[in-house]
Amino acid sequence: MDTRGVAGAISYVPVQVEAGAAAAGTQATKAKANGVAKAAAAGKTKSTGSAKAVRATGAAKPKATAAPRTKVVTSGPGQVTVPSKGYATTTASKSVKTTASSTAKTTAASSKTTSTSSAKATGDYAFLQDKTLSAQEKLILFLATQKKNTNKELETMLDKAAAQKETAKKSGGGVTSLFNVAKSVVPALGVADKLLGGKLDDLLKQVSGPMLGAAATALGMPALAPTAMTMGPKLVDAVLNLQVPGAQQASTTSSSSTSGSKGGELDEVELARMQMLQKRVEEWTALISNLMQSFHQSRMNVLQNMR
């Protein structure tokens, strides 16, 4: 992917160190470097306290704050590695790809076309190849197929939700989905022992759901992303209070409320999806109905004119 453009960026960190000082070689500059280094180690910035020593020897001209900063160059030379995926392709690269593919077209391409068309003919949309059907009929059939597919999807979701409910009942509740996402993401980073040990709840308080979802995608677990993304930061505290395993086993009353809330959290996502699918089915139905009415009307008009 081609990236060019804007200049590099500099980000500041609290520790400021005079880098060139140690290299200068004189006693005075060494003293200066030591002074700054101590301050830096203590986590403070220092306004070169040993500058007097530098002046006394005359070895080097003291600089006020010429400390190097931590830079993250986002573009141009020396930029952070550009991702090979995740961004949309530019128009330019698209056209290059198209040209390349068009020039590479050989007899193999024609055989590919044949195989594609044969694949189409066996699919749900085979009717589109049917020459005996009119455009109107094809349109109606297309919409009906769409509606059928959406209905199927909805049914699958309902089955899945029912199965989830059953599993939750059997296991007597579980940990929250966000907690599960974090439990998957953190070990994938290879720092499970240091980061996971008792600090996962703290991590969830610091990291929002969308960010955790993004991390999951970056680590090759995109399936976890939607769940995490639906969880806003405000929900995290509430969820953690109910869902952290330690807290869950606190009392019988809390565990019963936990399973209820947990079901609620999952349902939020599932219900949103179902609602969307249901809306889509309704839209398809309305569209088909309107089209049929329109076709009927135009045919009636033709007949009336003939009379």
Please provide residue 71's backbone torsions phi and psi, each rounded to the nearest 5 degrees: -105, 140
Q: Does 266 bind other proteins (CB under 8 A)?
A: no
Q: Which position among 26, 45, 79, 136 is part of the footprint of other proteins (CB under 8 A)? A: 79
Q: Considering only CA atoms, give the Rg of the chain.
A: 32
Q: Does 255 bind other proteins (CB under 8 A)?
A: no
Length of the chain, in residues: 307
Query: Could you tell me the two tokens for 230?
Result: 């639906």
Q: Tell me whether residue 126 or residue 272 sits nearer to other proteins (CB atom).
A: 272
Q: Does 186 bind other proteins (CB under 8 A)?
A: yes
Which strand (E) or helix (H) includes residue 10? Answer: strand 9-10
| Cβ atoms of 113 and 105 closer than 8 Å | no
Q: Does 304 bind other proteins (CB under 8 A)?
A: no
Closest distance to other proteins from the beta carbon of 47 (Å): 15
Binding segment for other proteins among 105-113, 128-136, 185-193, 293-301 (CB under 8 A)?
185-193
Q: Which position among 123, 190, 245, 264 is part of the footprint of other proteins (CB under 8 A)? A: 190
Binding segment for other proteins among 75-83, 99-107, 245-253, 284-292 (CB under 8 A)?
75-83
Token pair 């991702």: residue? 83
Q: Tell me whether residue 185 or residue 244 sits nearer to other proteins (CB atom).
A: 185
Q: Which position among 24, 26, 37, 295 is part of the footprint of other proteins (CB under 8 A)? A: 37
**100 CB contacts (<8 Å, ≥6 apart)?**
none
Kindly provide the b/e burial profile for residues 78-88, where b requires at least 16 CB atoms within 10 angstroms of the residue's own CB.
Answer: ebeeeeeeeee
Which strand (E) or helix (H) includes residue 206? Answer: helix 200-206
Q: Which position among 19, 56, 119, 250 is part of the footprint of other proteins (CB under 8 A)? A: 19
Q: Are strands 9-10 and 71-72 parallel, antiparallel or unpaired?
A: antiparallel
Q: Does 273 bind other proteins (CB under 8 A)?
A: yes
Q: Which position among 141, 146, 181, 213 is part of the footprint of other proteins (CB under 8 A)? A: 213
